[in-house]
Every structure is written in structure tokens, then in C-alpha cells.
A = this chain, B = another copy of it.
């Protein structure tokens, strides 16, 4: 029989993965309140370098303003890695492709990474912290986005 605690972790991974998908789904449906409900009340969130949003109310307003800049978006989350730090907390990373179409018809695509902390609440797993990092972007100057931290390797 496999280790019961590892099986219990599989159930937790499944739930976290589902909430990651819901975050993206509510974004693309332009439902900022529901998107923010994937976070705990006292969450910390950063979409720009050094700029941390504190708390779900502030986050909701920022998401509302951000989503209103677009007529269409599509967020695609993969490469999910979850490391449990205790029974009720986890660190997680995932990769995202986020396509955006602005009101003027122009588009930009983010190739990014979410760096998260998750907490188990009475209502299930929720995001306690999410930091966006950008591998790059097309259709937008990505020097204004938070860098991924790629090593500066050169051929020898």
C-alpha cells in the first residue's frame, strides 16, 4: 500500500491545481471578485517588480482595472510544481501563457511564471501569495515586467 500521507498530498495537489485553473477561468470571464476569491483575505500579490498588493479588497480593484483594459484574454497554466512545507501550506510554481487583446484591437502575449504560496483554509486551499515573473512578452515592452531570473550564461 502506498504511503497514506503521500496519497493525501495527491488530493491536496489536485485541489490546488483546480484552484489554479479557476483563477485563470475567472480572469478570462472578466470576473475579478471571483478571481480574487481564489486568494485568502490577507493575501500578498505582485504583478510588477517591487509592487505588492495587500489584501483581497485591494486585489479585487486592481484585477478589475487590469481586466477592463482588454476585450479578450486567455490564460493557459501548465508546468505545475507544488512543494508542501507542512500539512496546510505549500510553495508552488507554474508557467503561464496569457494572451490579451486590447480595446484598440492590438494584442500582447505574456510568457510567464507564477511563484506562489498556498494555505489550506476552512473553504479549501487558497492563494496566500502570488508573484508574477516574466520569461518574456510579445507585443509589449517586457523590460517593464518582473524578470524570471535567467542566468547570464554564455557559450565557452
Query: A interface vs B, CB < 8 Å?
Result: 1-4, 6-8, 10-11, 13-14, 17-18, 20-22, 24-25, 28-32, 64-65, 67-68, 71-81, 93, 95, 97, 99, 101, 107, 111-113, 135-136, 138, 142, 148-156
Query: Given the known A-B contacts A2-B11, A99-B135, A111-B74, are A25 and B81 also in contact in the complex, defined by CB atoms under 8 Å?
Result: yes
Whether B152 contacts A30 by the Cβ 8 Å rule is yes
Q: Is the interface of A mostly helix, strand, loop or mixed?
A: mixed
Kindly name the residue among A21, A29, A67, A111 whose own CB sees the greatest number of chain B CB atoms within 10 A: A111
Query: Given the known A-B contacts A2-B11, A136-B72, are A32 and B79 also in contact in the complex, defined by CB atoms under 8 Å?
Result: no
Whether B68 contacts A95 by the Cβ 8 Å rule is no
Whether B81 contacts A30 by the Cβ 8 Å rule is no
Interchain CA distance A152-B21 in the complex, whole Å: 21
Q: Which residues of B contact A101 (CB under 8 A)?
A: 136
**Partner pick for A81 among B21, B68, B74, B154, CB 8 A cutoff:** B21
Interchain CA distance A13-B14 in the complex, whole Å: 9
Query: Given the known A-B contacts A79-B76, A99-B136, are A148 and B68 also in contact in the complex, defined by CB atoms under 8 Å?
Result: no
